[in-house]
Amino acid sequence: MNMQTSSVMAPPAPKGLAEMQLPLVMMRDILLKTIFRKNVDTVSEVAAAVCLPGSVTQELIDIAREQKLMEATGTLNANSGNEMGYQLTDAGKARALDALSQSEYFGAMPVPLDVYREQVKRQSIRNIQVTRDQLTGAMGHLVLPDSLLDHLGPAVSAGRSILMYGPPGNGKSSISNGIRDALGDNVYVPRAIEYSGQVITVYDPIVHTAIEQEEDDPNSLRRRKRFDTRYVQCERPTVVTGGELSLSMLDLVYNPTARTYQAPLQLKSTGGIFIVDDLGRQAEPPQALINRWIVPLEESKDILGLQSGEKFEVPFDTLVIFSTNFHPNEIFDQAALRRIFFKIKIDGPNQENFLKIFAMVARKRGMPLDEAALVHLLKVKYPTIQNIYANYQPIFLIDQMISICEFEGIPYQMSPDLIDRAWANMFVKEEKIVH
- For residue range 58-89, what is the model confidence (pLDDT) as tens digits? 999 999 999 999 999 877 655 656 788 899 99
- If pLDDT is split at 50, 70 and 90, which confidence band does 5 have? very low
Say if residues 318 and 161 touch (Cβ distance below 8 Å).
Answer: no
Strands (E), 237-372: 238-241, 253-255, 260-262, 273-276, 301-305, 311-315, 319-324, 342-345
Tell me the Cα Rg of the chain. Answer: 28
In three-state secondary structure terms, 174 is helix
Q: State how far the Cα of 382 lies from the Cα of 100, in Å rounded to an integer.
A: 67
Is the pLDDT at 214 greater than 70? The verdict is no
DSSP state letter for 40: -
pLDDT at 217: 53
More confident residue, 307 or 297: 307
Beta-carbon-side half-sphere exposure of residue 433 (alpha carbons within 13 Å)? 3
Q: Which amino acid is residue 376, in one-letter code?
A: H
Say if residues 396 and 419 touch (Cβ distance below 8 Å).
Answer: no
- State pLDDT tens for residues 85-137: 899 999 999 999 999 999 999 999 999 999 999 999 999 998 888 888 888 88
Percent of the chain residues topping a pLDDT of 70: 93
What are the phi and psi torsion angles at 216 (to 5°)?
-70, 140
Percent of the chain residues topping a pLDDT of 90: 55
From 150-159, 202-211, 214-223, the region with the lowest mean pLDDT: 214-223
pLDDT at 268: 96
CATH 1.10.10.10 positions along the chain are 23-107
From 74-78, 168-172, 228-232, 249-253, the region with the lowest mean pLDDT: 74-78
Write down the CATH number for the domain with range 351-426. Answer: 1.10.8
Average pLDDT over residues 357-361: 91
Average pLDDT over residues 333-342: 82
Name the CATH code of domain 23-107 (choices 3.40.50.300, 1.10.287.3510, 1.10.10.10, 1.20.210.10).
Answer: 1.10.10.10
CATH 1.10.8 positions along the chain are 351-426
Element (H, E) at 404: helix 393-408
Mean pLDDT of the chain: 88
pLDDT at 80: 57
From 79-83, 250-254, 262-266, the region with the lowest mean pLDDT: 79-83
Closest CA to 323 of 146, 105, 162: 162
CATH 3.40.50.300 positions along the chain are 114-345
Is the pLDDT at 4 greater than 50? The verdict is no
pLDDT at 271: 93
| pTM, two decimal places | 0.82
Average pLDDT over residues 380-390: 92
Say if residues 160 and 128 touch (Cβ distance below 8 Å).
Answer: no
Nearest-10 crossing angle of helices 351-365, 393-408:
40
Is the pLDDT at 428 greater than 80? The verdict is no
Query: What architecture (CATH level 2) is domain 114-345?
Result: 3-Layer(aba) Sandwich (3.40)
Average pLDDT over residues 42-58: 94
239-250 burial string, b = 16+ CB within 10 Å, else e?
bbbeeebeeeeb
Average pLDDT over residues 324-342: 84
Q: How far is CA 423 from CA 366, 370, 433, in A?
A: 20, 16, 21
Average pLDDT over residues 269-295: 88
Q: Which amino acid is residue 322, in one-letter code?
A: F
Q: State how far the Cα of 190 lies from the Cα of 192, in Å rounded to an integer.
A: 5
- If pLDDT is split at 50, 70 and 90, which confidence band does 3 have? very low
Is the pLDDT at 24 greater than 90? The verdict is yes
More confident residue, 433 or 51: 51
349-362 burial string, b = 16+ CB within 10 Å, else e?
beeeebbebbeebb
Angle at 118 between CA 261 and CA 27, to 5 degrees: 50
pLDDT at 336: 79
Q: Which amino acid is residue 247, in one-letter code?
A: L
